[in-house]
Amino acid sequence: MNFFLRKNKNKKAIILDIPLLLENKINKKNDVLIFIDANKKNILKKLKKRKNFNSKLFYKFKKIQLPLAIKKKKSHFIIKNNFTKNSIKKDIKVVLNKIL
**pLDDT of amino acid 72:** 94
pLDDT in tens, 55-96: 999 889 889 999 999 999 999 999 998 877 777 888 888 988
User: Are the C-beta atoms of 88 and 79 separated by less than 8 Å?
Assistant: yes
Please name every residue paired with 66 in a beta bridge, in sequence order, or none if there are none: none
Q: State the Cα–Cα distance between residues 88 and 76, nearest whole angstrom.
A: 16
Q: How many domains does the chain have?
A: 1
Amino acid at 10: N
Q: What is the pLDDT of residue 35?
A: 92
Using only C-alpha atoms, the chain has a radius of gyration, in whole angstroms, of 15
Do 73 and 35 meet the contact criterion of CB atoms below 8 Å apart?
no
Q: Region 28-34: what's the mean pLDDT? A: 87
Residue-level pLDDT at 1: 53
The answer to whether 38 touches 87, Cβ cutoff 8 Å, is no
The conformation of residue 29, written as its DSSP 8-state character, comes to T
- Domain containing 48 equals 2-99
Q: Please state whether beta strands 2-7 and 13-17 pair in parallel, antiparallel, or not at all (unpaired).
A: antiparallel
